[in-house]
Amino acid sequence: MSIFINKDTKLVVQGITGRDGSFHTKQAIEYGTNVVAGVTPGKGRQTFEGAVPIFNNVYDAVAKTGANTSVIYVPPMGAADAIMEAVDAGIALVVCITEGVPVLDMTKVYPFVKERGARLVGPNCPGVISPAQAKVGIIPGRICIPGPVGVVSRSGTLTYEVVYQLTRAGIGQTTCVGIGGDPINGTNFIDCLSAFEKDPSTKAVALMGEIGGTDEQEAADFVKNHMTKPVVGFIAGQTAPPGRRMGHAGAIISGSAGTAAEKVEAFKAAGIGVAVRPMDFVELIRAKLH
d(CA 80, CA 141): 27
Nearer to another protein, 162 or 199 (CB): 162
Question: Is there a contact between 159 and 126 (Cβ–Cβ < 8 Å)?
Answer: yes
Residues 203-262 that bind another protein (CB under 8 A): 208, 210-211, 213-215, 234, 236-241, 245-253, 255
In this chain, which stretch among 2-10, 46-54, 92-100, 192-200 interacts with another protein, using CB under 8 A?
A: 92-100
Question: Is there a contact between 128 and 178 (Cβ–Cβ < 8 Å)?
Answer: yes
Residues 52-71 that bind another protein (CB under 8 A): 56-59
Nearer to another protein, 11 or 79 (CB): 79
In angstroms, what CA-CA distances link 167 with 77, 162, 178, 215, 223? 36, 9, 17, 27, 24
Active site residues: 248
**SS3 category, 221:** helix
d(CA 104, CA 275): 35
Residues 260-289 that bind another protein (CB under 8 A): 276-279
Residue 90 touching another protein (CB under 8 A): no
Provide the minimum distance between the beta carbon of 286 and another protein in the complex, in angstroms, as a whole number. Answer: 17
Provide the minimum distance between the beta carbon of 20 and another protein in the complex, in angstroms, as a whole number. Answer: 6
Nearer to another protein, 126 or 150 (CB): 126
**SS3 category, 41:** coil
Nearer to another protein, 44 or 148 (CB): 44
Residue 162, phi-psi category: left (phi > 0), alpha (psi -120 to 50), beta (remainder): alpha
Provide the minimum distance between the beta carbon of 42 and another protein in the complex, in angstroms, as a whole number. Answer: 3
Nearest to 34 by CA among 67, 56, 72: 67
Number of Cβ within a 10 Å radius of residue 26: 13
Provide the minimum distance between the beta carbon of 209 and another protein in the complex, in angstroms, as a whole number. Answer: 9
Number of residues that bind another protein (CB under 8 A): 77
d(CA 35, CA 28): 8
> What character string, x for contact with another protein (CB under 8 A) and - otherwise, covers 98-137?
-xxxxxx-xxx-xxx-------------x-----------
Provide the minimum distance between the beta carbon of 174 and another protein in the complex, in angstroms, as a whole number. Answer: 20
Q: In 169-277, where does DSSP find H-type helix?
A: 189-198, 215-226, 247-254, 260-269
Residue 19 touching another protein (CB under 8 A): yes
Provide the minimum distance between the beta carbon of 148 and another protein in the complex, in angstroms, as a whole number. Answer: 23
d(CA 204, CA 152): 11
Residue 77 touching another protein (CB under 8 A): yes
d(CA 269, CA 179): 24
Nearer to another protein, 277 or 290 (CB): 277
In this chain, which stretch among 2-10, 28-36, 72-80, 198-206 interacts with another protein, using CB under 8 A?
A: 72-80
Residues 142-201 that bind another protein (CB under 8 A): 143, 153-161, 164, 181, 183-184
Nearer to another protein, 57 or 194 (CB): 57
Residue 62, phi-psi category: left (phi > 0), alpha (psi -120 to 50), beta (remainder): alpha
